[in-house]
Structure 1
């Protein structure tokens, strides 16, 4: 099943994340670091919502949610464009949160671990 969603700029990033998690040792590292089910709910510029389930508790996978977002340890709600900035390291999760651009439901500490997962799974060369 594809993690990509039409009309979402985050699609290629989520695909990269899914591809990165194919590497069992990377997935195990992410599970150890986060140990949570993270629901990422994005709203695109057309106002459409889409959710993804990032399982960093058991499977080390990311899947697009069918229908309403399921229960997880933490849910991140933000705009598609802000997620892209966050994943690319162009935005700081704390600043987005303080400015009301990132809403977090559930375990706040688990939410902070996500940035490190993106850095770990980033396929781009480190400069």
Structure 2
């Protein structure tokens, strides 16, 4: 009985360790992280104007296969705007789910958002038409 308990405890520890390593907060070195940091810098500079122009909350679920490796929220609806890790604190107007690779292709302008959506590289929950408002924010990143 004791051996079975030790095995179960060991398996539980391994499962927790794997889950902790695979959580969105522990996804080092993702290129998308740099993009969202730059978007955050831009929001600090001109957030009030972006909130006036965009007036929406977007959540990005960045995937690697079936595993979410990062989650970011871009709030351009309240205050002077903000970008932060994790799920939206309020109801997001649109949630985008895509791979890290497809996100970078989109941000770098190598693929058009409409094309990526039509071929299934981006999944959208919520108001898909709000996506065009993001182009204002993402175009600035392409210039960098």
Q: TM-score, normalised by structure 1?
A: 0.80
Partner residue of 1:35 out of 47, 55, 63: 55
Range with bigger deviation, 111-120 or 86-95: 111-120
Equivalent residue, structure 2, for 1:119: 139
Structure richer in helix, relative to its length: 2
Residue 4 of structure 1 and its aligned partner are, at CA, apart by 9.1
Query: What is the alpha-carbon root mean square deviation over aligned residues?
Result: 2.3
Please tell me whether residue 61 in structure 1 is matched to residue 82 in structure 2: yes
Structure 1, gaps ≥5 residues long:
none
Change beyond 3 A, Cα 1:89–1:9: same
Distance 1:109 1:101 in 2: 17
Higher relative contact order structure (alpha carbons within 8 Å, sequence separation ≥ 6): 1
Change beyond 3 A, Cα 1:22–1:123: farther
Distance 1:4 1:54 in 2: 19
Give the number of aligned pairs.
117
Please tell me whether residue 74 in structure 1 is matched to residue 94 in structure 2: yes
Residue 9 of structure 1 and its aligned partner are, at CA, apart by 2.2
Q: TM-score, normalised by structure 2?
A: 0.71
Distance 1:4 1:123 in 2: 28
Structure 2, gaps ≥5 residues long:
1-24
